[in-house]
Structures are given as C-alpha cells and as structure tokens.
Amino acid sequence: MNAKPEQTVPAAHIKHWDSVTDVAILGFGIAGACAALEAARGGAAVTIFEAAGGSGGASALSGGEMYVGGSGGTDIQQRNGFTDSTEDFAAYLTLAGGPAPDQAKIALYAREAVDHFNWIRAQGVPYKGTFLPGKIIEPETDDTLIWSGSEEAWPFSATAKPAPRGHTIQSPGWGGGRKLMDILEARVREAGVQVETSARGRALVADDGEIVGMIIRQNGKELAVRAHRGVIIATGGFCMNTEMVRRHAPEALRCSHPLGTIDDGSGIIMGQAAGARAIHMNEFFVTCPWYPPESLVKGIFINEAGQRFINEDCYHGRVMSAAVAQPGTRVFLLCDNDIFARPMELANVELAAVGESWGEVEAELGFATGTLSTVVEQYNAHAAKGEDPVWHKAAKWLKPLTTAPFAALAFNPSESYFSYFTLGGLETLPTGEVLNLGGDPIPGLYAAGRATCGLPRWGRGYSSGMSLGDSSFFGRMAGRSAGERGI
C-alpha cells in the first residue's frame, strides 16, 4: 500500500493483519527495551520492531550513564558520602528544564528515580559502586558515580544542593551504553518479547481516532500489525534527518556531528500524523569534549568579540551550547603554561595562537589592541582574590592566567568535534500517553525517549545520563500504561 509516516492508515483499509500483539513498540533503544519489559511482565504480548539490524539505537552509542538521585540518595551516592534530597533533585531538574520545564514529569522522576535505578540494577546492570572525583565526561575506568552535570556550578549550585548523580555502568573506558543495551536485550528476550529487526515503522493505523496498530516494512514487504492495547513510539529524535533539522532547529546544522543511528524523526512524524503535537522542536543537545584534562577548566572561554560568555566550570555541553550561540564562527579557550594541555584528539581543536604575553596572543588572533588582554587582566585580578563577579566560576577553578607562555585553543562547531542530537518531540504525559493538538491523550498511542520532549528539553540544561534516565524511566511508564490498557 506504500504507507507513509505522514499519513495514518484507516483500519478499514486493512484487509488482513499480518501479525497480532498486545503492545507494538517501535524502536529498540533503551526506551523501547524498558517499555517492553514492563508491558511483557505485566502479562501483555509484546513485539518490538527495530529499523536497524539489532538493538541499541543511540542508547548504545552513549556512555551508559543514568542521571538519578533524590530520596536521600541512591545507596551508591550515600556510600560515597553524598545525600540528595528529592527537593534538591527536583530543583536541579527544574532549572535544567529551561524556560518551560515539565513539572509533572520532574515531580514523578525526582520521587522515583532511586527506585528506578534499583530496578535497572535488578535487570543485571552492574555498578562498581565507587566514586570518581573530578571534571570528566565519562570514566576511563569502571567506576560508577561522577559529577555529570552542572551541579557544582552557578546558577545550579545556588539553586539546589549539589550531589553527583551520574551513575555509570561498570565497564572499562567509554561507551558503556552498548553493554547496557546488551543486558537489557537479554532481559527483553527472556521476558518473551518478540523482536523483529530490520523492521521499519511506516505508518500508524487508526480507527476513528484510536491507534490500533501500525504498518511495518520488513524484507521489502509492508506488514500490518494489530496492537490490541497500544503502540509505543520509541524511535529516537531527528538529528540524522538534515531537512527536518533545518525546518525546526537550523542552528544545529552549524555543528559537525549528528549523534545518532537512524534517528530520522519518522516516529515523531507518525505521531503528528495521528494528531499529536510536537514541542520545543528547536532545542538540541550539543557538546565538544573540551575537557579532560580538567586543568583546562581553569582556562577561560572567549568569543570572537573577546568576551567571556559562561562560567567554564559548568557541564561541558552547557558551555558548548553557549559557544554555538556566540556571534562569529569560533570561540577560544585561553590557557597559561600552568594549565595548558591538549584536549583529547577527538575534539579536533586548533592551537590558534601562542605568545609570551596576552598582548601577543591578542595580536596573533587578530583582536583589536587591548580587547582580549583587558578581559584576561580583569579575570586575573578577580581570580587572584578567588572571585569571578560576573560569571561566578567556583573558587576551586579560579587561577590567574599569568604564567607564560600563553595559548588560545580554537573551537569551531563546524570543524571541531561538535556532536548534537535533538531534544524536541512529541508531548506526552508522565504515563507515556501522547497528547493531541488539543492536549488530550490519543487513545492507544504512547511514546518515550527522544521521540518525545522529556526531562531534557533545553540544550543549556543538559547533564550526562539525563536522556538515558528519562528514556528508561518514562519508557517503563509507557510500557506499563500500554500493557494495562483496556484490561
């Protein structure tokens, strides 16, 4: 029938259902996996349809960190000396949600994240339980707990008592997300979930406003799938769909690396075709691994106007989201000899200027005389007193940049390694129900993960582990809601 995501297929057009299940899930990243577990264990027949050849999606590209806390803290937080109240966790998530946070999701997640984390462990996901201090992106070791956001940085530190909340799977080096997904896939298969791979969602099937199934394309054939209780969209965001990014988040196209696998937005479009609304479609996560080494955090970023624009001790992605919004094409990280080190090769940044004085660096970069050097002088004068009156970098990262030689590292979003993914998507209730254009749930339709607009919805507020936390938790909620529907 040549189904298209942008059009629901009327149930009356389906002559024959090629397969029948209770809950049909599109996408086998972490949201789909967790949805499947809840629905299957609740007694529903569940089928996952994954467009790729196997499980994982963008979740498998991640570091396998989960952003959890509250309720006094996980046992791992507590064991390492950190308490974390639900109120502080919620306050942090609210500030991280930007100008329009989802208070209902925040309240639920802040209250239940510790239980959720224990559920994740009960699936067999291992955590060493150790704390790794410092400013890092992901552990190079197999340690667990890290500062994975802006908790200790202004204004977050002034809003919520800081606690490290990044809980990393026990797995040496980066990229624990693949291991996390392998473990969850094993549980999914044990739970009796049917898994269809190389099976792309093509369109939802609707019967008088209710979603009753979908059309899948597999092995060159279109198959009609009846889902008695509901369909769950867990297809991820749209960063790999350049035209869709251009329509909604064109600033992201300045960045060099979309971070996804398929992530073509087709799930969002299928939802919209069923009457759903998509929100905050302009927002995106972006980062560049500009630290480690953490000594660089003692440097200062300036834009092409020679201005600082953020406290450099906040989350790397918050710094880089601000960097992408600066006028001009590059930003510069200024270092002195005490703190200088080359960032990871991956970052692909350029040593743009060196000099025996800041005036020399200024001249080499082509800045007007006195612009850059004045900024450094003022920063140094305040840093010597342990102060950063304008941008509020915490005292432990303040150090006058006075030891020659001096250097400027150039970060260009289109040439350095700036990876991004989209944060806008379908609007859902905490239950996973997808809302229509009028704000009412669409019967039979659920969604989770980056096909939705969830807890992470503001590029400037992202923290590592927030998307996995949101996707796994609200994936479970969607699975439970769909699995229990109409029983």
Q: How far apart are CB 379 and a second copy at their closest, in Å? A: 11
Which span (122-130, 224-232, 329-337, 381-389) binds a second copy, by CB under 8 A? 381-389
Question: For a second copy, which is the closer residue by CB, 42 or 299?
Answer: 299
**For residue 240, how many C-alpha atoms fall within 13 Å in the half-sphere facing its CB?**
16
Q: Which of 1, 6, 173, 357 binds a second copy (CB under 8 A)?
A: 6
Contact between 273 and a second copy per CB under 8 A: yes
Question: For a second copy, which is the closer residue by CB, 391 or 417?
Answer: 391
Q: How far apart are CB 244 and a second copy at their closest, in Å? A: 9
Question: For a second copy, which is the closer residue by CB, 70 or 275?
Answer: 275
Site string for a second copy, 299-338 (x = CB under 8 A): ------xxxx----------------x-------------
User: Can you list the positions of beta strands (E) in 73-185?
Assistant: 145-146, 166-168
Question: For a second copy, which is the closer residue by CB, 224 or 435?
Answer: 435
Q: How far apart are CB 254 and a second copy at their closest, in Å? A: 8
> Do residues 300 and 376 make contact, with C-beta atoms less than 8 angstroms apart?
yes
Contact between 242 and a second copy per CB under 8 A: no
Q: Tell me the angle at which helices 466-484 and 30-41 cross, rounded to the nearest 10 degrees.
A: 30
Q: Tell me the angle at which helices 466-484 and 103-122 cross, rounded to the nearest 10 degrees.
A: 90
Q: Which of 187, 280, 316, 480 binds a second copy (CB under 8 A)?
A: 280
Contact between 5 and a second copy per CB under 8 A: yes
Beta bridge partners of 400: none
Q: Cβ neighbours of residue 193 under 8 Å, at least 6 residues apart?
A: 36, 37, 40, 46, 47, 48
Q: How far apart are CB 335 and a second copy at their closest, in Å? A: 21
Contact between 99 and a second copy per CB under 8 A: yes
Structure tokens that stand for 83 in this block:
């308490």
Size of the site for a second copy (CB under 8 A): 43
Q: Which of 59, 71, 157, 436 binds a second copy (CB under 8 A)?
A: 436
Structure tokens that stand for 20 in this block:
């029948």
Contact between 414 and a second copy per CB under 8 A: no
Q: Which of 7, 130, 295, 431 binds a second copy (CB under 8 A)?
A: 7
Contact between 264 and a second copy per CB under 8 A: no
> Do residues 131 and 144 make contact, with C-beta atoms less than 8 angstroms apart?
yes
Question: For a second copy, which is the closer residue by CB, 346 or 437?
Answer: 437
Which span (144-152, 415-423, 432-440, 475-483) binds a second copy, by CB under 8 A? 432-440
> Do residues 40 and 232 make contact, with C-beta atoms less than 8 angstroms apart?
no
Which span (1-9, 184-192, 397-405, 465-473) binds a second copy, by CB under 8 A? 1-9
- Termini Cα distance of the chain: 32
Q: Which of 196, 210, 222, 251 binds a second copy (CB under 8 A)?
A: 251
Give the count of beta carbons closer than 10 Å to the beta carbon of residue 403.
13
Contact between 289 and a second copy per CB under 8 A: no
Read off the DSSP letter of residue 334.
Answer: E
CA distance 464 to 137: 8
User: Can you list the positions of beta strands (E) in 405-481?
Assistant: 406-411, 419-422, 425-426, 433-435, 441-447
The SS3 call for residue 292 is coil
Burial class (CB within 10 angstroms; exposed 0-12, middle 13-18, buried 19+) of 318: buried
The SS3 call for residue 352 is strand
Question: For a second copy, which is the closer residue by CB, 6 or 87?
Answer: 6
Burial class (CB within 10 angstroms; exposed 0-12, middle 13-18, buried 19+) of 141: middle
Which span (110-118, 353-361, 378-386, 407-415) binds a second copy, by CB under 8 A? 378-386
Question: For a second copy, which is the closer residue by CB, 307 or 348?
Answer: 307
Contact between 256 and a second copy per CB under 8 A: no
Look-up of token digits 């992530």: 263
Contact between 282 and a second copy per CB under 8 A: yes
Look-up of token digits 């129900």: 433
CA distance 264 to 424: 13
CA distance 254 to 246: 11
Site string for a second copy, 137-166 (x = CB under 8 A): ------------------------------
User: Helix and strand tally (H, E) in the chain?
Assistant: 12, 21
Question: For a second copy, which is the closer residue by CB, 40 or 453?
Answer: 453
Residues 202-231 that bind a second copy (CB under 8 A): 209
Contact between 344 and a second copy per CB under 8 A: no
Residues 22-61 that bind a second copy (CB under 8 A): none
- How many residues in the chain? 487
Tell me which residue of 46, 447, 17, 22 sits closest to 222, measured CA to CA.
17
Which residues in this chain contact a second copy in the complex, by CB under 8 A?
4-7, 98-100, 209, 246-248, 250-251, 253-254, 269, 272-273, 275, 277, 279-282, 305-308, 325, 368, 370-371, 374, 378, 381-382, 389-391, 427, 436-438
